[in-house]
Structure 1
């Protein structure tokens, strides 16, 4: 990941722009979604991203620990794609429109039309029940939550007097996630949303924008230890740049 950050920083520099700082998604989400008491007494912000799920522990209004696991919403989408034999784009749409984690009796009768453009009429007109969709999604979400719980136990979070959980990120909007998380992580679970910017447009006031709003707050109120960022000049030699230019000329 350090190499990825260096690569992005180098690209920014090549565009005649200056990289002011680097921040963790879980950290900036916590800054925007946790209330004052949660930051003071102890809470963890869990940010469900696409390719990974990150978390940050706050105490005394400071982040004291953070981590991440390489599982996120994209893995849930991939499970749906493989389970229903449909393209990723369609799987993402079905997850967003019909997804859930807590099955009820009515879900056995709630049919979802899959659709498709394979040319096979019977295949493209398939229908599945919502309970089948939940059966595909839930194991992956449980795996993510159990892995987060294991890392929080190692970090000593469960030894704190206050053990509150705030869920942010795009995948936190899956119906039933807060209920499932309360069973696996602990009882005090809520969905987070940006709190510290007044009159936010409706499109940016949901939990999926917690990191975005937190990053804006981070930029508006920088901390010195995060803000000084220099790109190591030794990381990219002129030889590697010449190789890249040669590759572009040959392939484009």
Structure 2
């Protein structure tokens, strides 16, 4: 988006979050998005693009990323595992249309991950953008012995780690 629209990365990220999508409709030609340019002078650089133009930039990049994921999963032997479900997490998993495009490239067993209900987790941290962070925090709070090659004293772990993670989410989100 940054290269295609010739805008700074932060502006591109904002445009993606507010207007991004992967499937254009007839109304997207008429929906205009105001953007600035590289100079930072809003009056000088102010211009608009249609949402369908934005989708035309985003969709091929997302397809490339998903195709690369598919290649890497195939190279790792993922297709031979009993459970082949792919869970998409992170902020980009919320791009409208990804839930329809991803299964076409990665296979039918694709879903958007959302954090489980965790007591004390702020509402703002319950979206797909936080699924990995919450999952890793819970994983760290409840380690499985067979996954670790070293021993961690329990008094340094379970409750305290989860409380720390919840506090961090509250403080930062």
Normalising by the residue count of structure 2, what TM-score does the alignment of the two structures yield? Answer: 0.75
2:134 to 213, 216, 235: 213
Structure 2: how far apart are the matches of 1:105 and 1:204? 34
Does 2:120 align with 1:202? no
Q: Secondary structure at the match of 2:148?
A: helix
Does 2:22 align with 1:101? yes
Distance of aligned partners of 1:151 and 1:189 in 2 relative to their CA distance in 1, 3 Å threshold: same
Distance of aligned partners of 1:89 and 1:227 in 2 relative to their CA distance in 1, 3 Å threshold: farther
- What is the count of residue pairs matched by the alignment? 149
Partner of 1:223: 144
Partner of 1:185: 106
Identify which of structures 1 and 2 has the higher relative contact order when contacts are C-alpha pairs closer than 8 Å and 6+ apart. 1
Does the 8 Å contact 2:36/2:42 carry over to 1? Answer: no
Higher strand share: 1
Partner of 1:110: 31
Mean CA deviation greater in 201-210 or 214-223: 214-223
C-alpha root-mean-square deviation of aligned residues, in Å?
2.3
Partner of 2:72: 151
Q: Which has the larger radius of gyration?
A: 1
* Cα displacement string for residues 141-165 of structure 1 (whole angstroms, at most 9, x for unaligned residues): 1111101111222233224454322
Structure 2: how far apart are the matches of 1:215 and 1:160? 22
Higher helix share: 2
Structure 2's unaligned 5+ residue stretches are 152-173
Partner of 2:7: 86
